[in-house]
């Protein structure tokens, strides 16, 4: 089974209404205007879509932060680029990131929820999360860990209800490997150094990952790609930012050997 995992393309732009100057969006607009737009090459998102369509994997996973401030115009830009993949025969999973769930503004929330349903090919709605789905040789648990936070925070929160759902699903007889799909890394080597950026409420999920009940965690949020996996490919894989690094994660699961194999593929040198 082949999975192509990508994350954090971060479309951005100006404030789209006056209320953006009185909620957190002004922080994201400022960040994008003076930093993020110089770090991220948006052409790589289309290259990722083209690559996935060419490779025809068994599943594509997009683990959040397709926008910078969660504004409707940002979602519109990204959904237009992602539409060929969404409308293909390739199964697609999408979990929103903290920049997609940036503020409580109704237009922004509605745009985020529409994006979740659209990019999950109408199979999953935001309000239905968490859910468990079987694709190919693996079971996937999709969780939302993102919600609006204070001006200086980029933290995520795994609610107890979602943690309980994960525990319940992992307590059942395992028929296939279980892959957790979220925006935030579960494994933090230095959690107190990343106190403004880490995932809270992750302890049960981390325990299940460490004892093998969860086989693999797929995430984004951290913009550099990495894999913290053992010799059988169990652990956590972060796709990084597709538009900052120009790369995607390619994960192959060999059912016969019961092994996951990870490769970081750079889109400009894929051939």
**In 150-222, which ranges are E strands?**
156-157, 178-181, 199-200, 216-219
Between CA 157 and CA 184 the distance in angstroms is 9
Q: At what angle do helices 160-170 and 203-210 cross, to 10 degrees?
A: 20
Domain limits for position 57? 2-269
Q: What is the pLDDT of residue 269?
A: 67
Q: What is the pLDDT of residue 271?
A: 40
Helix (H) / strand (E) containing 245: helix 242-245
Q: What angle do CA 137, 143, 146 make, to 5 degrees?
A: 145
- Cα 109 to Cα 102, 118, 190, 202, 218: the distances in Å are 8, 14, 32, 24, 24
Q: What is the pLDDT of residue 191?
A: 79
The tokens describing 50, both together, are 């083209």
Number of domains observed in the structure of the chain: 1
pTM for the full predicted model: 0.97
Q: What is the pLDDT of residue 217?
A: 98
- What CATH code is carried by the domain that includes residue 156? 3.60.21.10
Q: What angle do CA 250, 97, 92 make, to 5 degrees?
A: 45
CA proximity to 145, closest of 74, 63, 249, 239? 63
Between CA 234 and CA 242 the distance in angstroms is 23
Mean pLDDT for each consecutive 10-residue tract of the chain (271 residues)?
98 94 94 93 97 98 98 98 98 98 97 98 98 98 97 94 98 97 94 88 97 98 97 98 98 98 88 40
């Amino acid at each position: 089974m082949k999975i192509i995992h990508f994350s954090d393309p971060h479309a951005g732009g100006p404030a789209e209404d006056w209320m953006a100057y009185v909620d957190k969006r002004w922080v994201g607009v400022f960040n994008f205007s003076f930093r993020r737009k110089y770090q991220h090459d948006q052409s790589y998102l289309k290259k990722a879509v083209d690559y996935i369509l060419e490779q025809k994997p068994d599943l594509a996973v997009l683990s959040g932060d397709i926008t910078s401030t969660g504004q409707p115009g940002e979602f519109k830009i990204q959904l237009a680029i992602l539409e060929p993949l969404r409308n293909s025969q390739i199964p697609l999973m999408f979990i929103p990131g903290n920049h997609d769930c940036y503020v409580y503004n109704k237009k922004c929330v509605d745009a985020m929820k529409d994006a979740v349903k659209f990019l999950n090919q109408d199979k999953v709605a935001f309000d239905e999360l968490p859910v468990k789905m079987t694709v190919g040789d693996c079971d996937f648990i999709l969780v939302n860990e993102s919600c609006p936070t204070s001006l200086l925070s980029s933290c995520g929160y795994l609610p107890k209800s979602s943690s309980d759902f994960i525990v319940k699903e992992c307590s059942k007889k395992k028929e296939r490997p279980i892959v957790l799909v979220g925006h935030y890394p579960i494994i933090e080597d230095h959690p107190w150094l990343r106190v403004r950026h880490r995932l809270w409420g992750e302890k049960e999920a981390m325990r299940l990952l460490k004892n093998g009940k969860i086989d693999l965690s797929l995430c984004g949020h951290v913009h550099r790609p990495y894999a913290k996996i053992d010799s059988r490919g169990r652990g956590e894989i972060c796709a990084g930012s597709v538009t900052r690094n120009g790369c995607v994660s390619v994960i192959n699961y060999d059912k016969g050997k019961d092994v996951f194999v990870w490769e970081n593929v750079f889109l400009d040198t894929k051939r």
